[in-house]
Structure 1
Amino acid sequence: MLRRRKPCLPKGKTVRDLKVPEQRHPEKAHRPDNAQPRKPSWIRVKAPTGDGYNATKKIMRDNKLVTVCEEAGCPNAGECWSQGHATMMIMGEICTRGCTFCNIATGRPNALDTFEPGRVADAVQKLGLNHVVITSVDRDDLEDGGAEHFAQTIRAVRHRSPKTTIEILTPDFLKCDDSVLKVVVDAKPDVFNHNLETVPGLYPTVRPGARYFHSLRLLQRVKELDPSIFTKSGIMVGLGEDQQSVKQVMDDMRAADVDFLTIGQYLQPTPKHHGVDRFVTPEEFASYDKAAYGKGFLMVSATPLTRSSYHAGDDFAKLRSARNAKLGQA
């Protein structure tokens, strides 16, 4: 039987003599200097549940796979997993970067698992996916940044599920030369996604280990190496940017020939992460959507709950149709 321990008190003092700090705002007491604001109605989602969700979870566990849905605390996980859609995160669950918006653990990663590409392919086949999104942590500890591992995973999925279209969401391969990117491109993913994440002025505080123009050049180089591959990138809003800087990022992406833009609301994972500057309204998201199409993107997803892989399969079908329509007009 556990016994309740008595508090350790100064000599001659009783519990009544102790002063309890005043808590004017108990909901903010965990960190008053960076309290997480209450989410508006348009950003709230239902908790994950249901047979479909549990079946997807079991396949992930049986194949010992990590998902960014869980690691990053995606608000859409319940909806996506209930439909058998999960974004698989390869090369472990420890990242070598320390971005202030991201909830993925930072540290020294383990060695690559040579059997992981096969397990990803097995999970894709069991889930019966028409479209799969595969992402990874940053692996600055590897000479090629994990490029060959990405290529092996793409080939394994293609071999096991030849009709499945493949979308990859890669790191920036910042410390690697151009030949590394070619390894990934030569594996022929259908969509090459690399997120800029935010506007350039916020990079020092939000994405300190990355370089804005390097990421832009990465996306541009993919198109130069293989124009048939769709390129995709996304940013979060609510980090402290203004509308003009968001539209400038759109222009930069179009200059790099990016096909597909995603814009979603930033949600602070914990009080230790970068704070939410504001919750952007659905009306402002609609204005971004209109502006982006006006700048020439083939596909745009700009809503509070938009994430890189949210409805990725449906969006890919629309993206392909938009390209075909554009080519038909040429």
Structure 2
Amino acid sequence: MFYYLFFVYFYIKRITELILAHITYCKECKQLNTGYEWCNTCNAKHFQQDFENWTSGNIDIDKCIQNVQLLAKGYHKILEWIPYDKLQDIEYIAKGGFGKVYRAKWVDGYIQSWDCKNKNWKRVRSNMCVAIKSLNNSKNITSEFINEITLHHKIVDNNFFSFIVRIYGITQDPISKNFMMVLDYADYGSLRNYLDKNYNKLNWYIKLNDLYFVAFGIEKIHIKELVHRDLHIGNVIRFPFHSSITDMGLCKPADFDESKSIKNSIYGVLPYIAPEVLRGQNYTKAADIYSFGIIMYEVISGLPPYHDMFGCKSIKSSKCGRN
């Protein structure tokens, strides 16, 4: 009952925000706000006036952040350059195929609105817990890093319950010089970890609710004519009351032709890869749906895919690559 009441509260809160966004006016220009307590026209000017006061040291990163800030129609759509010294109590969590993930406290918290009285940004959730994703060798910035940030941010919705994990900004490790993404921290880790620890306590409402969020996350990706291409239960993370899709590093346009790519490889966790992709065909939206089907099986049964097969441990943990 508490779970149900919690969702009712936040859905009502979200609807209220949407209504207020369209009936409230900017205190500066007196025009309708474009988002909850957000005026795109005025806040774009505030961001632009601050451009000369920060830099990542990389022109492409600066342009990426600045373009996002100028176009943001709500506070959920902001990207920031976050100085590394604003991140404290950094703790290593895990290592993936493309980099490392850490947990840290973000001293400032994120921007929510412009404070007209103090002429500065109003921030909330100071000392909030965030995840930091470091991409290997990103000190020599690559198009892949920019691509992941751009596509990830493009899909994130203006919603408290984002179906895609929210990205707050970019920072840089002063020692390795690798650029890092600062994202929402998932209290329960991956959905797989959550199932391992809590499956016997879960009712059908909770299981279906997790699948609901994953399904709508996939829909958000596909509506933008993109394909995730690496969807598995390790790339679905669990917050206290909802799940979100993460790791958009391999995301590509739906019409992307793999055969024309220099990096003509199959990537992903083997049990989740659609059969046609293993046969050399392109990743498609249908391939994402196949991966979702495997996730559905896991959430419903509580078991990893092909758990009863000989040698399944090496299969489910391996990354598949074919040149």
TM-score (norm 1): 0.26
Higher strand residue share: 2
Q: Which has the larger radius of gyration?
A: 1
Tell me which of the two structures has the higher relative contact order, counting C-alpha pairs closer than 8 angstroms and 6 or more residues apart: 1
TM-score (norm 2): 0.26
